[in-house]
């Protein structure tokens, strides 16, 4: 069942609904003395009596507080979705070492988005425009299936400005907001309308060649 001795568990908590939390995630949280995470992730575990370190924008400050935690305490770092997809997990592993961390996979918002429209995703390319615009313009046009993590007010404008030239004719665009939550909304829009759309802070945009959608 994997190694149990690591001090830090990096716990994938799914896209938001408690229905999408795994029993392994719940167990890791039960065993933790300290929970680290954003406010809405901490709220998923309101029954836990562990000490809480809320992650705001200051990641460095959070890592420092983890470092100052007594060495015998077990820490669970809560991340949205899966730790392997644009999460705090990478910074935690870099700082504390892989040998001290156990990664508990979760259901990603990307999994949930493709599931919502019933399309497989093994050949998808995943881009994050979540925190800031990506540094360089990725060669989006090379990929037939793209998932972009939005989240900021201007994320959709960035995506709209970098759509492949063939988008209007050749591709379908789905905007997936608040996946798994009560206010989940999945809409298909014309590529040319994407830039003007106001989307929720939890949004994944899927852009796909029409021929790939059954």
Ligand X SMILES: C[S@@+](CC[C@H](N)C(=O)[O-])C[C@H]1O[C@@H](n2cnc3c(N)ncnc32)[C@H](O)[C@@H]1O
* Binding stretches for ligand X (CB under 6 A): 15-16, 79-82, 85-87, 108-110, 130, 149-151, 176-181, 202-204
Per DSSP (E only), the strands in the chain are 8-12, 34-37, 51-54, 75-79, 101-104, 125-128, 145-149, 171-177, 185-189, 203-209
Smallest distance, ligand X to C-beta of residue 201, A:
7
Measured from the CB atom, is 108 or 167 closer to ligand X?
Answer: 108
Cβ atoms of residues 4 and 70 within 8 Å: no
Smallest distance, ligand X to C-beta of residue 4, A:
24
Measured from the CB atom, is 73 or 95 closer to ligand X?
Answer: 95
Cα dihedral 24, 26, 28, 31 sign: negative
The C-alpha atoms of residue 88 and residue 85 are separated, in whole angstroms, by: 9
Smallest distance, ligand X to C-beta of residue 155, A:
7
Smallest distance, ligand X to C-beta of residue 5, A:
25
Measured from the CB atom, is 167 or 178 closer to ligand X?
Answer: 178
Calculate the dihedral angle through the C-alpha atoms of 206, 146, 107, 53, rounding to the nearest 10 degrees: -90
């Amino acid at each position: 069942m994997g190694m149990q001795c690591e001090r830090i568990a990096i716990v994938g908590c799914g896209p938001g609904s408690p229905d999408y939390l795994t029993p392994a995630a719940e167990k890791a949280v039960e065993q933790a003395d300290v929970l680290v995470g954003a406010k809405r992730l901490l709220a998923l575990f309101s029954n836990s009596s562990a000490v809480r370190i809320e992650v705001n924008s200051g990641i460095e400050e959070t890592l420092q507080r983890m470092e100052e935690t007594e060495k015998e305490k077990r820490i669970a770092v809560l991340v949205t979705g899966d730790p392997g997809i644009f999460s705090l997990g990478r910074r935690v592993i870099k700082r504390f070492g892989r040998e001290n961390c156990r990664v508990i996979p979760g259901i990603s918002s990307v999994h949930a988005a493709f599931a919502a429209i019933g399309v497989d995703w093994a050949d998808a390319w995943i881009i994050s425009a979540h925190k800031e615009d990506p540094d360089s313009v990725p060669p989006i046009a090379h990929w037939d299936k793209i998932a972009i993590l939005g989240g900021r007010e201007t994320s959709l404008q960035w995506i709209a400005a970098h759509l492949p030239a063939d988008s209007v004719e050749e591709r379908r665009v789905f905007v997936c907001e608040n996946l798994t939550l009560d206010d989940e909304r999945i809409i298909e829009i014309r590529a040319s309308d994407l830039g003007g759309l106001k989307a929720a802070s939890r949004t994944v945009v899927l852009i796909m060649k029409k021929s790939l959608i059954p």
